[in-house]
Amino acid sequence: MSAAVLTGAGAALPATLDQDAAWEGFFARHYEGVRAAHRIWAGAGVRTRHAVANPVDEDLSQWGTGARMARYVQEALPLGKQAVAGALDAAGLAPGDVGLFAVATCTGYATPGLDIRLASDLGMPPGLQRLLVGHMGCYAAIPGLAAVGDFVTARSRPAVLLCCELTSLHVQPAVRDLDQVVAHALFSDAAAAVVLEPGAGRGRRLAGVVARTDASTADHMTWDVTDLGFRMGLSPRVPDVLSRHVGDVVAELLDGAGLRVEDVAGWAVHPGGPRILDVVRDELGLGEAEVAASRRVLAEHGNCSSATVLLVLQELADVDGPVVVMAFGPGLTLYAALLMPS
């Protein structure tokens, strides 16, 4: 059987939102009286991000979930189409070549979903197989890659993974809840897609995937469906939990390929926040240069949930050698993938 090789990537970003302008134009008023709010905002490590719904122009905080889901479909379709088309073009493939189309999201749902609507709009074949990776959160790109990679290897057909997240649709009502301040200071919108092909002689081969879930910390990160959109729960202990597991996860991943940390040429670490990157850097004994791409994506694009790590991976397009892709989310769950030169 042929290995699954990542041969193309694409992305689509909504309008850019300046972090300071978002604070001054909306969130300073939204969190008036919450003493720590501005300190959290200023320390998020974000300069600019992207939003299909700019809170300075429109306040969605009282919208019902149904209205938010309808808006998701409206906004996600053109973004997803642009990201997938870009990835296919980079791989030199046509929509008709695709055997599996997988979509990962935790920010919007409809049936028929993005998978069906985009497949039709892009001209993918009617016999296309489809997969939805739903509500897993920030780490969903990696189990998505694993599933897509298994299909490519088993069926010898190309496949596409799209991560499309529109967190700006889930601005919550003004309450004295620091979890919401943190979420609104970090999260952003983006669509990112990758193409995997069987046995390609160019690109990066998916060489391994490792997962770890610490069920004893399930309440540390939550993403609840409410009548007013989706609501984040976030414990300040998340970095401490990650620090206990990240070393073992990376060791297991690299041991399977006979590699050591110092053999890794690139690190695509999900920038969940500045402290997350600090923990990964310190626990693995990395230098600041190894997490620079992740910090740059956080600063320029914010935390785009599952799409973020694919944006970081695109920052590392010119890196020659093994690349570790790593993301974290509810569970608490850590996922890591190893990409090797094909």
Separation CA 235–CA 257 (nearest Å): 34
> 106, 138, 163, 164: which is the annotated catalytic residue?
138
Contacts of 278 (CB under 8 A, 6+ apart): 239
| Helix, strand, or coil (residue 274) | helix
| Neighbour-count burial for 143-170, b at 16+ CB within 10 Å, e otherwise | bbbbbbbebbbeeebbbbbbbbbbbbbb
Question: Would you give the end-to-end CA distance of the chain in angstroms?
Answer: 15
Query: Amino acid identity, residue 190?
Result: A
The dihedral built from the CA positions of residue 38, 62, 223 and 130, taken in this order, carries a sign that is: negative
Does 138 qualify as catalytic in the annotation?
yes
Separation CA 87–CA 81 (nearest Å): 10
Cβ contact 60:171 at 8 Å: yes
Cβ contact 295:277 at 8 Å: yes
Q: What is the DSSP letter of 170?
A: G
Q: What is the dihedral of CA 165, 230, 328, 7, to 10 degrees?
A: -20
Q: Give the residue numbers marked as catalytic.
A: 138
